[in-house]
Amino acid sequence: MCTRVLWPDANGTVIVGRNMDFHMDLLTNLWKMPRGVERKDGANNKLVWKAKYGSVIATAFDLIATDGMNEEGFAGHILWLAESDYGQPKESDVQLSQAVWLQYYLDNFATVAEAVEWTNSADVKVSQLFDPTGHLVPTLHLAINDASGDSAIIEYVGGEVQVYHNRDYKVMTNSPTFDKQLELVKQIEGLGGDKPLPGSTLAADRFARASYYVEHQVQPQTQLQAMAAMFSIIRNAAQPFRTPEPGKPDASQTIWQVVADLTNKRYAFESTTRPNIIWVDFEKLSFTEGSKILKLDLIGELALEGGLSGDVSHKFSDAGELGMGLVSTGIEALEFVARKKDEFAEIAKLLKSLGQGTAQGTK
């Protein structure tokens, strides 16, 4: 699921792109989040904060921030990592629900260095969401980057946080873990080895192609050229529509793509099912504390004909009290189920055993 590519030296600008790969439509919309929004961690409510920076985010089901950039040019990207193991957080631990993991970073940090320092010093734990219907439980890792071109990858393995911090870390995909990806890519011609550039949709192959092409770019003369070049790179790492592979959301088609200019604060979005490119210029938005949370409806308005296209900075609208109430209730429900996951697991186990008993009794 997904590929993220950072180009930190695009002729004086920092450009980042990402593919969202998933086996189903995430009903993604864009949201404008102003400064001053009060939030809580969604886990044990020991961490409460007020947004220091405004941001634009791309959501899943209007509930989870999956990608975004704040007004300082700090951006973050949630991707799938099957090897993620968050451990069992203690009640005393600093925790963040997966639903607000990315949003916390966008709300609070202007630079990667600040974010990394807090992650390490707070020893923050991630509270995993839980799906009682028996579908996939999210296993995620986080890439962050800023307007200086700095970069970090945050993963959880064996219950412990692993932070890879270096502006040379330009690419992140999925399995295996980031340290192993760095070793695998050294085998590729042009990146240290002699193996030909691979062409499959496997995460390691996408990692290699994205790494190769971002290292072999002609310096752009304009922002348009820089963003077009990044779109070309992430399209090369995109995955075509195909029959989903059971239990492997990372082996899924690309459903949308983002390219962001962290220097000039432009955030561009393209859906692969409603393919009009749109963009948001931050200078045209108000992130002032007290201003409204606004939504850009991509599901209803991003049509192939007659829908949104081009600059949509002024197309955001107030979701209203009812809309915000539904979002808040949905997030709270997700997090409640996550906190009660052990109880739900026992109920599911009991129901399964009862079902097996009934089936045997009818034989």
Report the catalytic residues: 2
Q: Do the beta carbons of residue 17 and residue 231 sit within 8 Å? A: yes
DSSP output for 132-166:
TTSSPPP-EEEEEE-TT--EEEEEEETTEEEEEE-
Residues 6+ apart with CB under 8 A from 75: 16, 67, 68, 69, 106, 144, 145, 146, 260, 262
Task: Let me know how long the chain is.
Answer: 363
166: phi then psi, degrees, rounded to nearest 5:
-170, 135
For residue 244, give the amino acid letter. Answer: P
For residue 318, how far is the Cα from the chain centroid? 24
Closest CA to 30 of 334, 291, 270: 270
Read off the tokens for 89.
Answer: 């957080």
